[in-house]
Amino acid sequence: MKKSIVVIEDESDILEVLKYNLEREGYRVKTCRDGESGLRVVRETNPDLVLLDLMLPSVDGIEVCRRLREDAVTRSLPVIMLTAKGEESDIVLGLGVGADDYIIKPFSTSELTARIRAVLRRTQQSTEESGRDRIERGGLVIDIARHQVTADGERVSFTATELRLLHFLASHPDRVFTRDLLLGRAIGEHAYVGDRNIDVHIRAIRKKLGPYRELIETIRGVGYRFLEESS
């Protein structure tokens, strides 16, 4: 399967060139022009890597990276910063908030793709070695490090918010959580307005879980819990 990359860059000329060249190299590419929509697209699409310009309108690249690292779902998502020459202090800042690598503009396509391949290889290795953050319940496997859920071996695709919610519930089996608590702890302060309805997410998650839907139990008037054993 093609690897997917989200490119966040406000200069449209650079954005077009990046998209064209990366697609030619066999990547699926989504583009965004500011930090806020970049974060949203990353949450919606769970890409394999993010190319992140540091100088962005509204939410800048450093802040985008910081927010990605604060979130369990995107914590290990590879991020390569794009920086202008002479912005060394920004590079230090970016690496400090957890970016994996950086590349200085202007750069050649071959330089960029070599860097992307290296970062993807490195993060793949560390993911395989870690193996934690993986929860199994019967034939259901929730692997937050790989942003992946499988039911009886079949991959099920979740949005970042759904995945975070499912992982949070499954990490605390048999514990009942209120909607407010789930909102605060599972979805977090970075919830967008559309993310705030827990019931809608739970409904979507159950539908996708198919035969495992009953693992999430509704506690009437209180909230939800994830069962220790499937019945």
Query: Contact, 114 vs 101, CB < 8 A?
Result: no
Nearer to Ca ion, 21 or 178 (CB): 21
The closest of 82, 48, 85, 84 to 64, measured between CA atoms, is 82
Nearer to Ca ion, 52 or 166 (CB): 52
Candidates 3, 4, 10, 25; binder of Ca ion (CB under 5 A) is 10
The closest of 34, 11, 30, 10 to 19, measured between CA atoms, is 30
Which range of residues in 48-56, 60-68, 93-101, 172-180 is near Ca ion by CB under 5 A?
Answer: 48-56
CB of 55 to Ca ion, least distance (A): 4
Nearer to Ca ion, 34 or 217 (CB): 34
State both tokens at 167. Answer: 């992982």
For residue 41, state whether it binds Ca ion (rule: CB under 5 A): no
For residue 14, state whether it binds Ca ion (rule: CB under 5 A): no
CB of 61 to Ca ion, least distance (A): 8
Which range of residues in 3-11, 25-33, 118-126, 205-213 is near Ca ion by CB under 5 A?
Answer: 3-11
- CA count, 13 A, side-chain hemisphere, 27: 23
For residue 72, state whether it binds Ca ion (rule: CB under 5 A): no
The closest of 50, 76, 49 to 64, measured between CA atoms, is 50
For residue 53, state whether it binds Ca ion (rule: CB under 5 A): yes
For residue 90, state whether it binds Ca ion (rule: CB under 5 A): no
Candidates 55, 59, 93, 191; binder of Ca ion (CB under 5 A) is 55
Query: Contact, 158 vs 203, CB < 8 A?
Result: no
Nearer to Ca ion, 59 or 191 (CB): 59
Relative orientation angle of helices 35-45 and 61-70, to the nearest 10 degrees: 30
Nearer to Ca ion, 94 or 223 (CB): 94
Nearer to Ca ion, 11 or 70 (CB): 11
Please count the helices (runs of H) and the strands (runs of E) in the chain.
8, 12
Nearer to Ca ion, 56 or 202 (CB): 56
What's 42's DSSP letter?
H
Residue nearest to Ca ion (CB): 55
Q: Cis before residue 106, ω within 30 degrees of 0? A: yes
Q: Is the dihedral of CA 45, 119, 146, 188 positive or negative?
A: negative
- CA count, 13 A, side-chain hemisphere, 76: 18
Binding site for Ca ion (CB under 5 A): 10, 53, 55
